[in-house]
Amino acid sequence: MAVGIFDSGLGGLTVLDAVQARLPDIPFVYMADSAHAPYGVRDSDDIYGLTCAGVERLWAEGCDLVVLACNTASAAALRRMQESFVPPDKRVLGVFVPMIEALTERQWGDNSPPREVAVKHVALFATPATVSSRAFQRELAFRAIGVDVEGQACGGIVDAIEEGDMILAESLVRSHVDALKRKMPKPQAAILGCTHYPLMQEAFQAALGEDVTVYSQANLVAESLSDYLTRHPNMLGAGDASKYLTTGDPRRVSDRAAQFLRRSISFDAA
C-alpha cells in the first residue's frame, strides 16, 4: 500500500514530512535523484527523461501512485508523462494543482469556467526551468481570469540549501525578492514554487512584508493526497515498507537530509 514521493534532491522531504503526518498509516518510498540535482537548470527533455527513470524506480518498489514533489518536474515533465508514459494502472500527480486550488479558493473537481478571484497580483518564486515553462500560469488559467503572475527565477537557492549553507540561501532570497519587486512592486500573494523553499519561508515573508500572503506547498499537497486516496483507494500500491532511496552517495545524502530536517534519515542506493 506504499505511495511514492519523487524529487530531484532533498526539497521533497518537506512534502514527505507533511504527508506522513497527515497519513501516518501509509508507507512512503522517497526517491531523491541526487546524482542529477538540481533539475532547475536542465532542459525539458533532460528533466523528462530523469523524472521518468525515477518514477519507474518507484513503480518497481510497489508504488502505483507517485507524487512529483518537485515543481520543476511537475512543470517540465508531468503533462508529457501523463499523455504518453504513464500506463492505465498507474498514476503520477504533481504539486501545482493543490497550490492553485488554495490560491483561487476552488475545490478539486470544480470544472466550472475560469472566473475572477480576489487575488490579482501574484509573485511566483521558482527554479529557472519552472518559470520558463509557464506551467503554473497555464494551470491557473483553467481556474481563474484576470490574475497577473510575475515569475522570478531563483537561481542558487536550491544549491545553497542542498549544501546546508542557509546564510547564503537567505541572502539569495532577499536578492530575488528585490528583483521581483522591481517588476511587481506590490504583490498580494507569493507562491513558493519549489519544495526546497518552505525551509526559507520566514526569509521570504520577511523580505516581502507581512501584507503579502505566502503560499507554501507541503500541507496543501498532503491534504490533496489524502482526499485523492479517499476517492481512489485502489491506487495504494503493493509496497509495504517505508524507505529512502537516492541515486547519489547514500551516506552524504543521509547526512544532508539530517541537517535538512534535523532528524536522522538513512538513505539506500537506488
**C-alpha span between 103 and 90 (Å, rounded):** 28
**C-alpha span between 203 and 52 (Å, rounded):** 33
Say whether 194 is catalytic.
Answer: yes
Q: Which residue has the cell 495504494?
A: 236
Residue 27 in grid coordinates: 508507507
Asked if 69 and 5 touch (Cβ cutoff 8 Å), the reply is yes
Alpha carbon separation from 22 to 63, 168, 219, 226 (Å, rounded): 18, 32, 8, 7
User: How many other CB atoms are found less than 10 A from the CB of residue 161?
Assistant: 25
Kindly report the length of the chain: 270
Q: What is the DSSP letter of 95?
A: S
Residue 111, Cα to own-chain centre: how many angstroms? 23
Asked if 192 and 14 touch (Cβ cutoff 8 Å), the reply is no
Say whether 52 is catalytic.
Answer: no
Strand ranges, E, within 24-112: 28-32, 65-68, 91-93
Identify the CA nearest to 194 among candidates 99, 258, 78: 99
- The DSSP bridge partners found for residue 4 are 29, 66
Report the first-to-last Cα separation within the chain, whole angstroms. 20
Give me the catalytic one of 52, 63, 154, 194: 194
Asked if 28 and 20 touch (Cβ cutoff 8 Å), the reply is yes
Catalytic residues, which ones?
Answer: 70, 194
